[in-house]
């Protein structure tokens, strides 16, 4: 009898109040505002936030070209941070106050040398907005659960993202008043013979009211025990399907003992694009290195990564493989990709070269075609900034269209035309 094998795999996610995620949200809110004014807007905006004892600062920098009046960048930045929960300097930042929160804007127009290569009038002439390689991935790990079915996503990443989305819901609703916007999660999943079987460890960090310990006579130990049990009940065992926890799991919360006010931008500076692995597949698949947030869809860092996920998910749903990773690469100003490669990690029902051929025929990889097929000129990007860009249900408002399955694409993958 063959000896069974096991291993552990870990993914992380961060809440919307994490300093880097504040920046992603502000940058994507600006993208949405620009696309609302002009669907053909060109946007590449970075954000930096930092809190200090005497106040805080939000710095906006980048390039925007659009037909129409530019949106009020400062107002967008303040409103986005305030909506996340940063309306009190004592917790890390008060984005609503011009007196103690400055906004510095350094946004210019796009370089003419870039625009001449990407602003074509049709699908053939619109080139990629930059060089680089992008990856898309899909698998069947989430298909064991009613709550997760249809996502075709790595289970550790799916569960880590559910935890931070749960933290965000608690923050927005005020359900637990002492919880603050800043937080992180990490989930370790145990695999047996190559398949995920249970959660081994859950790690959660959540900022909390500095005065919370006074409810326990000033005891930090009692405070920590209370926070841990509240996180167990209201976050972990609320967000993770029971079957993943039935073997027992280790929970570690605020492992230094406390995560008290002030947190957020006060405790760490935030910058757009520093959570790209958490945004994608939690480390289960490769990443090309380019951030998604702050970029309009002419940037292939964003649109081609979405297109690659869309195609990989169709390969798995079509039954051609249990796991599929697609790499696509571009050169600036050129519409056709310079390469496309499919890797099914030995799970394909046919060779990877044949699946690659079918993927090339079933999907149009020119940037303008991806934008058209997925309707990416809509202002749908703020919602992607928190909780992950992939493995989330598409909405009637047009969010996450790269998660939607099209039966005609399935048919083309399963029954390709004879060349």
Catalytic residue among 18, 152, 366, 409: 18
Question: Does residue 273 contact residue 46 with C-beta atoms inside 8 Å?
Answer: yes
Of the candidates 78, 89, 165, 184, the residue annotated as catalytic is: 184
Give the integer Cα–Cα distance in Å for 301 and 291: 7
Strands 250-253 and 270-271: unpaired
Tokens 């939690």 locate to 282
Our answer to whether residue 295 is catalytic in this structure is: yes
Which strands make up the sheet holding 270-271, listed edge to edge?
101-108, 56-65, 42-51, 270-271
- Which helix (H) or strand (E) segment is 229 a member of? helix 220-231
What would the DSSP string read from start to end of 262-330? S-GGGTS-EETTS-HHHHTTTTSS---S---TTB-TTSHHHHHHHHHHHHHHHHHHTTS-SEEEEEEEE
Cross-strand bridge partners of residue 106: 61
Long-range Cβ contact pairs of 339-346 (< 8 A, separation 24 or more) = 339/133, 340/365, 342/315, 344/315, 344/320, 345/321
269, 286, 287, 329: which one is catalytic? 269
* Beta strand ranges found along 140-268 (DSSP E): 179-192, 195-208, 250-253
> Do the strands 195-208 and 42-51 form a parallel or antiparallel pair, or are they unpaired?
unpaired
Reading the block at residue 169, the tokens are: 């819901």
Give the pairing of strands 195-208 and 250-253: parallel
User: Active-site residue among 268, 336, 364, 373?
Assistant: 268
Answer yes or no: 274 catalytic: yes
Is residue 20 among the annotated active site residues? yes
State the number of CA atoms in the 13 A half-sphere of 286 facing the CB.
14
In the annotation, is 46 catalytic? yes
275 part of the active site: yes
Given 46, 94, 130, 209, which residue is catalytic? 46
- Choosing from 63, 143, 336, 354, which is the catalytic residue? 63
Could you say which of 20, 94, 209, 322 is catalytic? 20
Active site includes 299?
yes
Residue 268 is among the residues annotated as catalytic for this protein: yes
* Residue 231 near residue 181 (C-beta atoms within 8 A): no
Q: Which of 89, 180, 224, 295 is catalytic?
A: 295
The answer to whether the CB of 159 falls within 8 A of the CB of 203 is no
Strands 323-330 and 132-139: antiparallel
50 is catalytic: no
Active-site residue, from 151, 162, 213, 299? 299
What is the rounded distance in angstroms from the CA atom of residue 366 to the CA atom of residue 372? 10
63 labelled catalytic: yes
Catalytic position from the list 78, 152, 213, 274: 274
Enzyme catalytic residues:
18, 20-21, 46, 63, 184, 259, 268-269, 274-275, 295, 299, 301
């Amino acid at each position: 009898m063959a000896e069974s094998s096991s291993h552990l795999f870990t993914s992380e996610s961060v809440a919307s109040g994490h300093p880097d995620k504040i920046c992603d949200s502000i940058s994507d809110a600006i993208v949405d505002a620009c696309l609302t004014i002009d669907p053909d807007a060109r946007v590449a905006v970075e954000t930096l936030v930092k809190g200090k004892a005497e106040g805080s600062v939000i710095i906006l920098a980048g390039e925007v070209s659009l037909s129409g009046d530019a949106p009020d960048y400062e107002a967008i930045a303040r409103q986005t941070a305030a909506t996340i929960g940063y309306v009190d300097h004592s917790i890390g930042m008060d984005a609503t106050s011009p007196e103690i929160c400055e906004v510095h804007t350094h946004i210019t127009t796009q370089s003419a040398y870039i625009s001449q290569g990407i602003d074509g009038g049709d699908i053939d002439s619109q080139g990629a907005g930059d060089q680089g390689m992008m990856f898309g991935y899909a698998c069947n790990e989430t298909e064991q659960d009613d709550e997760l079915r249809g996502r075709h996503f790595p289970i550790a990443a799916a569960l880590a993202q559910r935890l931070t989305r749960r933290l965000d819901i608690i923050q927005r609703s005020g359900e637990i008043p002492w919880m603050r916007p800043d937080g992180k999660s990490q989930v370790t999943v145990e695999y047996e013979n190559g398949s995920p079987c249970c959660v081994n460890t859950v790690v959660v960090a959540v900022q909390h009211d500095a005065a919370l310990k006074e409810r326990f006579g000033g005891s930090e130990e009692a405070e920590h025990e209370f926070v841990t049990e509240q996180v167990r009940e209201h976050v972990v065992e609320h967000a993770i399907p029971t079957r993943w926890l039935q073997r027992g799991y280790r929970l570690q919360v605020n492992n230094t003992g406390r995560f008290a006010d002030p947190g957020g931008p006060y405790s760490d500076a935030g910058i757009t694009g520093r959570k790209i692995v958490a945004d994608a597949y939690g480390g289960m698949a490769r990443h090309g290195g380019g951030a998604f947030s702050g970029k309009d869809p002419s940037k292939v860092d964003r649109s081609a990564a979405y297109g690659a996920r869309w195609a990989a998910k169709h390969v798995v749903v079509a039954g051609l493989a249990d796991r599929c990773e697609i790499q696509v690469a571009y050169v600036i100003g050129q519409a056709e990709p310079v390469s496309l490669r499919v890797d099914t990690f030995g799970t394909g029902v046919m060779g990877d070269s044949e699946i690659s051929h079918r993927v090339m025929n079933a999907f149009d990889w020119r940037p303008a075609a991806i934008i058209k097929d997925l309707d990416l000129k809509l202002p749908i990007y703020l919602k992607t900034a928190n909780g992950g860009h992939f493995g989330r249900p598409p909405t009637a408002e047009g969010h996450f269209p790269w998660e939607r399955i099209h039966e005609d694409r399935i048919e083309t993958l399963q029954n390709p035309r004879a060349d």
